């Protein structure tokens, strides 16, 4: 009788393990902002590319190594932390002409789908800038293998990139050039390099 009870309990335990949600196999990671970068570039005067970064941001990623397509990404960026290396330009970018940081302090990205593509990933998600939320697609490198740091933590990294049209997000300010064209290009290239720390 005892052996029968053990067999039944063992079967139930096995079924529960099989039925466990895939999220149970995901590990939780945070972006280490001090070793990461959120950058962008946009054409200026049709002759060069102005580049900048956002220096303050947070992010959480649930990585499911058993089924990477079940992973989830979420990033929050402080709009006022924009830095292009020119204080006057940065002040203009923070104004209502562009990001209007007093009214819209955050940019956010939340993934809706993760797919494998060759050696990397394609991450689709909703990007919110100001009061506009639009779907964007990030091309992402495969997450690097886990490594132990000297302080007992676990780290891994990844890179990502995408392009958006700034007008889709209400960033419409511009001026025409006498020779034709505009001062600021419409397409913005976004690139991220993130180092992740595993939550304990």
Domains of the chain: 23-198 (2.40.128.110)
Taking alpha carbons only, the member of 97, 62, 60 closest to residue 183 is 97
181: confidence class by pLDDT, cuts 50, 70, 90: confident
CA 10, 27, 144, 122 torsion-angle sign: positive
Phi-psi region of 46 (alpha: psi -120 to 50; beta: other; left: phi over 0): left
pTM of the predicted structure, to 2 decimals: 0.85
Taking alpha carbons only, the member of 128, 122, 94, 93 closest to residue 110 is 128
Six-digit token string for 85: 């290396």
90 contact partners, CB below 8 Å, separation of at least 6: 52, 82, 83, 84
- Could you tell me if 46 and 177 are in contact, meaning their C-beta atoms sit under 8 angstroms apart? yes
Rounded to whole angstroms, the Cα distance separating 5 from 31 reads 47
DSSP category for residue 178: T
Given a cut of 90, is residue 46 above it in pLDDT? no
- What value does the mean pLDDT take over residues 23-37? 89
Q: How far is CA 86 from CA 52, 82, 83, 105, in A?
A: 10, 10, 7, 20
Six-digit token string for 5: 């009870």
Average pLDDT, the chain: 90
Give the pLDDT of residue 15.
42
Burial 152-188 (b: 16+ CB within 10 A, else e): eeebbbbbbebebebeebebeeeeeeeeeeeebbeeb
Given a cut of 90, is residue 66 above it in pLDDT? yes
- Chain segment 146-177, per-residue pLDDT in tens: 999 999 999 999 999 999 999 999 999 999 98
């Amino acid at each position: 009788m005892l052996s029968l009870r053990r067999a039944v309990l063992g079967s139930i335990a096995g079924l529960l393990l099989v039925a466990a949600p895939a999220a149970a196999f995901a590990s939780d990671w945070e972006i280490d902002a001090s070793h990461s970068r959120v950058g962008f570039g946009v054409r200026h005067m049709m002759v060069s590319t102005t580049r900048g970064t956002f220096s303050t941001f947070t992010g959480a990623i649930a990585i499911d190594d058993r089924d990477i397509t079940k992973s989830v990404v979420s990033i929050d960026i402080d709009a006022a932390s924009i830095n292009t290396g020119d204080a006057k330009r940065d002040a203009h970018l923070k104004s209502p002409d562009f990001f209007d940081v007093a009214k819209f302090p955050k940019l956010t990205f939340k993934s809706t789908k993760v797919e494998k593509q060759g050696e990397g990933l394609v991450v689709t998600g909703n990007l919110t800038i100001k009061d506009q939320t639009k779907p964007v697609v990030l091309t992402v490198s495969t997450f690097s293998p886990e490594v132990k740091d000297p302080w007992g933590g676990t780290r891994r990294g990844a890179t990502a990139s995408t392009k958006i049209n700034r007008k889709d997000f209400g960033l419409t300010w511009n001026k025409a050039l006498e020779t034709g064209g505009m001062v600021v290009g419409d397409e913005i290239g976004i690139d991220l390099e993130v180092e992740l720390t595993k939550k304990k």
